[in-house]
Each structure stands twice: as C-alpha cells, then as structure tokens.
Structure 1
C-alpha cells in the first residue's frame, strides 16, 4: 500500500477543489430546516456546484449512485440517498457529504447539522465525532505511521462510550475519488505506511451511539446502524506538509486552524 505524493501544481488544484467542496457545506446550512425534503437539498447543491462553481458533483453516477450529494439522517451512517419523501423534522441530526471535481481533481468533505433543537445525546455524539477528527489532525506530520490516526480516534471515541464503524474508512484522493492508502479510524498496527510531505487523504470517522455494527439497506447504498442507534460523521481532506498538515476542506465555523503545526 502506498500513497501518491502530489506535485506543487496538483496541490494547488486540490486546494481549489477542497475549498469548493467546503463552500457547498457553508452554503447549504441555512436550508437544513424542519419540513425541508432531502431531494430539494440535493437540487440546491447540484445547481450550486454545476452552475455557480462550474464543477462536477463527484457522487452523481459514481458506481451508479443516483444523486449529487449524500444525506444521512439519525441512524443512517453514510450514503443516504436524497428523496422527496425524506423530510427533516425537529431534533434530527444530519450528515451532508459533498464531493466535487474541479480541473480533474477531487475534494471531499462532510459534517453534521442539527435540525432545530436536538437532544443531549445527539449533541454529544456529534461533538465527539468532530473532536476525534480534530485530535487525529493534530497528530499528522511527516514520519508518523498511518495507524496512529485510527488509534487516537478509537481511543477517544471509546473513552466517551461510543463506537467506531470499521467497515468504512478514509482514503487517498487526487485525480481519483478513492486512492491508496486506506485510512482506518480504529487501531490496526498493519496500517503502517509512513506519512510523507505531499500526501493528500481524507479522514472521516463514523461514530455510533450504540454498537459499531452496520447493515446495508435494499437500495444497495444506504448504510444504517444495526441496532438503530444514532450515527455521526465529520470528514476533511488533508495535505501532509513539512510542518504538520493543511485542512484543504476547512470551513469558516471550524474550531481548529486550517494550518496545523504539529511538532514532535
């Protein structure tokens, strides 16, 4: 397993793609309201990506996926398919996953949104999911083994009495949506590739309030928790730099800097 080291030109293009994907999440936030249906959300994002940003929604048609974004509500872990019948209600937690192609390069990002007022468990789950991602970002620098990312995420999540989904992972990204390496969100010593300056990959922990086991729905895409517990996910595309890492999909409301200086 290896990771493609990106050239300066590629990094420049990836910064554009990453920021574009982040801007879609910033744009869509005001629409995440009770009584909004997820297909309308999909249409708004599609229009913004294609017509405003002159880019391509990477999810649309990927292995047959029928929509431009993924919208995953409550017990949906990932790959939720937008549709007219799926309507947000007060108290829902929602992951919106955005992937775009601009100038042949991909950007990939997701975050959680609250629909109105949500309960304490929902808030805490989302907070821990985001904090576990942030903790892993603060580790990244050349010379560390990849497994440290999964180790710190799993340790933090378990300490908070939640669980980490193991069937889905982060991935290298560039001219392809999914490249090597697989970025696991749990500890596996064999995930031992050493990070180098110029690597770009996603980290996207999926955290369940109950057990980690998941099931796939008959549509072949939607993944839900097996025990119907809540699930939360945050995702960033990151660049390994000589001083630590840059968050290519950083958004304005982040509680972390877009450039992380991670000393030994």
Structure 2
C-alpha cells in the first residue's frame, strides 16, 4: 500500500504566499493612495482655512462612521486575510504599491499605469495562485486520486509530466480518452520535495481505465458558446480600437474578459467531447 499526501497552499509555499500578497497589496495600495491624497487635501484645506471642505469631510465621516465601525467589528471576528498574512506584511505591501502608484502619477505616467497594475495583479497573480494551489492524496491500495476535494479513479490517469519552473514544480496529469471529467484535476502545484513520490504514485495503476459516458451534444454546445465569446471579443476589440481614447481601454478590457470566457468554454467542450 502506498499513500502519498501533499499540501501546496499559501500557508506552506513561500511562492504562493508572495504571489497572493502581491495581488492583495496592489489592491490595498490603491486604497492607501486614495487615503493619502485625501489627507493631503484635508490638510491643505485646514491650513488654508477652507471650512466648507472640512464640513463636507466631517459630514461624510459621520455618515459612514457606523458602517465603518460595523465592518471593523466583523473583521475582528473573522480571521480573513489575517489567517494568511500578518498586519505588517499587508501594510508593507500596500505601502509599497501606493508608493509605486504615487511615483507613476508624479512622473506624469497617467492613471493608465495604475489601472494596469491593479488589474494586472488581480487578473494574473490571483488566478495563477489559485491554479497552482493544491492539496490531496494518492492511495494506490484504494485506487483513488484526490486533489482539491475532487476524487478520480487512479486507473483513469494515463501519464504525468513534471515541469520545474523556477521555484514552482507543476505536475500535468493526462487521462485516458474519455476517462477524465471536467472537474478532474489536470495541473497540480506540488512541493518539489514530494513531486517525485506524487508522480510515481499517480502512474502506479495498471488497471483498465473506467468507462465514461460521452456527451457530444454538450461538447458542441460548449464549442458554440466559445466561438460566440471569441466573436464578441473580436467585435469589442475592433470597436475599442476604432473609437480610441477611454473607449479603447474599456473595449480592450471587455474583449479580454470575453476571450477568457471563450477559452473556458472551448476547454470545457474539449474535455466533454
């Protein structure tokens, strides 16, 4: 009997920890920058004796004081980000990003740089961290492979490829044709020290792959949705480029989201074919 277990999460991996902290800091830095600019405006108004601005600020503070107190109380009950990061780490990452945003604005780089940083960190770091995060087990005696709450018969695994990319070790699991479902894990981030044992355990089964019902109509429908999403992405990108200005930025962002959904539908169609 061989039982191999692994855990590759924000708590155990320095790389995932840094990746997630980068994304959270990018968003938090935006709030720090807005707060700092607000403090500068209020300080200037106080020195200039502009009581009207101070009155508006005081009114907003009173208006949102109750809501802020409620959020603080709820944050004190729930662990939230404190389960993964210390207050010093969150404050340091947010301050570093806020300084970078402030430098970009001071150098007249425009707000586009700030938007690109925020959306880039959110759309790259967080999905990448979620894709690499994994914890599970391989039990060759029971013939099961479980990862991230999804259990797959070990006999369904066809081959496993290993990729060492910098500090990350990724296992790509391929299944026998028609044996893997849409929820079957295909990319696993694993600790480098456990990668060899996990791969060997995944490839240990010599049993025949289990039968699986095919859904060609479902696959064709998913492919159709994917094609429609890609067509929408192309149309949005064309409109944005033709319009120019802020419309171009909005069009590119919308096209990127549409293309992402198109890729997801195409992948699901490929799996269900």
Q: Same fold (TM over 0.5)?
A: no
**Which has more strand, going by share of residues?**
1
Instruction: Flag the structure with larger Rg.
Output: 2
Higher relative contact order (CA 8 A, sep 6+): 1
Name the structure where helix makes up a greater proportion of residues.
Answer: 2
TM-score, with structure 2 as normaliser: 0.22
* Structure 1 length-normalised TM: 0.22
